[in-house]
Amino acid sequence: MKVIDHINQANKTLVSFEILPPLKGKGISAIYNHLDPLMEFKPAFINVTYHRSETMFKKQADGSFTKIEVRKRPGTVGICAAIMQHYNVDPVPHLICGGFSKEETENALIDLAFLGIDNVLVLRGDAARNEASFEAEPGGHRYAIDLLRQVVDINSGIYLEEEVKDHGNARFCIGVAGYPEKHFESPNRNTDISYLKAKVDAGAEYVVTQMFFDNRKYFEYVDMCREAGITVPILPGLKPITSKKQMNILPRIFHVDLPTDLSTAIAKCKSDEEVEIVGTEWLLQQSRELKAAGVPVLHYYTLGKPKVIWNVVKEIV
């Protein structure tokens, strides 16, 4: 079932979760152990992130080094199939530009269509660790909107090889990312929203936001999007703070601000256990306010902290 259909058919705020594939070498039980406690909340869908390969150098016997590409968290497509089979819940695999050619993307979309997966979240993805700024894969996409257009083409039965005939159309519901505090590469929020409007006009059916810790920024963002003519659902993305080091890491990596009340409360904590209590309560209050405002979905970035998310969601469902 498509995400947009879940939203349109709901008579209340839905809940969804986002997970990481486990590190290479771990089995599917790592996913089930992570998700099992959360399934009592009947999530409408579960997002599974995609991760590009990292360049590493392996030392050879003669002392020379060979460059190899290593994907530390593979398995997105397989995990999505397992979630569908094990839980009967709709998965939403992420598609990213970084590290993939158009041909590889097309093959992944064909695999997803064969599995009966109806949804994708289209993202540019981050720059590789060895890149000062994002660089497209040779033969790949530079911008998320171009990746989105490839998915739209697949939905229309248009493939890279023009001679492909008598093909069926896919039926992917396409989501994209939004940034209440703007994408760090955009010069301002209005420009950032104009990029989002272009993606919606190209075929995106809903938006999932980057994490934020001040609901006012989400509400302002939605208002600005509506003024710009963006009418699709905008789902708030939510994450708990569970350690002191995140006070510095999250603003640096994700370019988000922490409200003064939150950062002051965290600074007073003597341990990460105390931080987790503060972060859980903050996320709970965020969730209650957003639900009261009638947001379509509360989308939680679980990212290794399913117990914290469980403690929050049990209070609001």
Chain segment 80-128, per-residue pLDDT in tens: 999 999 999 999 999 999 888 999 999 999 999 999 999 999 998 765 6
Amino acid at 39: M
Amino acid at 15: V
65 three-state secondary structure? strand
Looking at residue 67, which CATH number applies to its domain? 3.20.20.220
What confidence tens digit (pLDDT) does each residue in 137-186 have?
788 898 999 999 999 999 998 898 876 666 667 899 999 999 999 998 89
Q: Is residue 270 part of a domain?
A: no
What confidence tens digit (pLDDT) does each residue in 123-145 have?
987 656 666 566 767 888 989 99
Report the alpha-carbon distance of residue 22 to residue 219 in Å, rounded: 34
Is 73 or 250 the better-scoring residue by pLDDT? Answer: 250
Q: Is residue 52 part of a domain?
A: yes
Report the alpha-carbon distance of residue 182 to residue 166 in Å, rounded: 43
What confidence tens digit (pLDDT) does each residue in 253-274 have?
899 999 999 999 999 999 999 9
φ, ψ for residue 246 (rounded to 5)?
Answer: -65, -20
- What pLDDT sits at residue 73? 74
Is 135 or 236 the better-scoring residue by pLDDT? Answer: 236
Q: Is residue 100 part of a domain?
A: yes
The whole domain housing 39 covers 3-240+295-313
157 three-state secondary structure? coil
% pLDDT > 90, the chain? 75
Q: Is residue 144 part of a domain?
A: yes
Q: Is residue 262 part of a domain?
A: no
- What pLDDT sits at residue 135? 73
Q: Is residue 55 part of a domain?
A: yes
- What pLDDT sits at residue 165? 62
Report the alpha-carbon distance of residue 272 to residue 279 in Å, rounded: 10
CA angle, 202 then 203 then 207, to 5°: 110
Report the alpha-carbon distance of residue 192 to residue 178 in Å, rounded: 9
Which region holds residue 107: left if phi is over 0, alpha if psi is between -120 and 50, else beta? alpha
What confidence tens digit (pLDDT) does each residue in 190-233 have?
999 999 999 999 999 999 999 999 999 999 999 999 999 999 99
Kindly report the number of other CB atoms within 10 A of residue 254's CB atom.
Answer: 15
Tokens at 211, concatenated:
């994490």
Q: Is residue 250 part of a domain?
A: no
Q: Is residue 14 part of a domain?
A: yes
Residue range 63-89: average pLDDT?
A: 80
Report the alpha-carbon distance of residue 46 to residue 302 in Å, rounded: 10
% pLDDT > 70, the chain? 88
- What pLDDT sits at residue 169? 77
What confidence tens digit (pLDDT) does each residue in 18-40 have?
999 998 889 999 999 999 999 99
Kindly report the number of other CB atoms within 10 A of residue 172's CB atom.
Answer: 23
Helix axes 246-254, 260-267, angle to 10 degrees: 140
Domain count, the chain: 1
Residue 125: C-alpha distances to residues 29, 78, 158, 160 (Å): 27, 20, 24, 22
Tokens at 55, concatenated:
């360049």
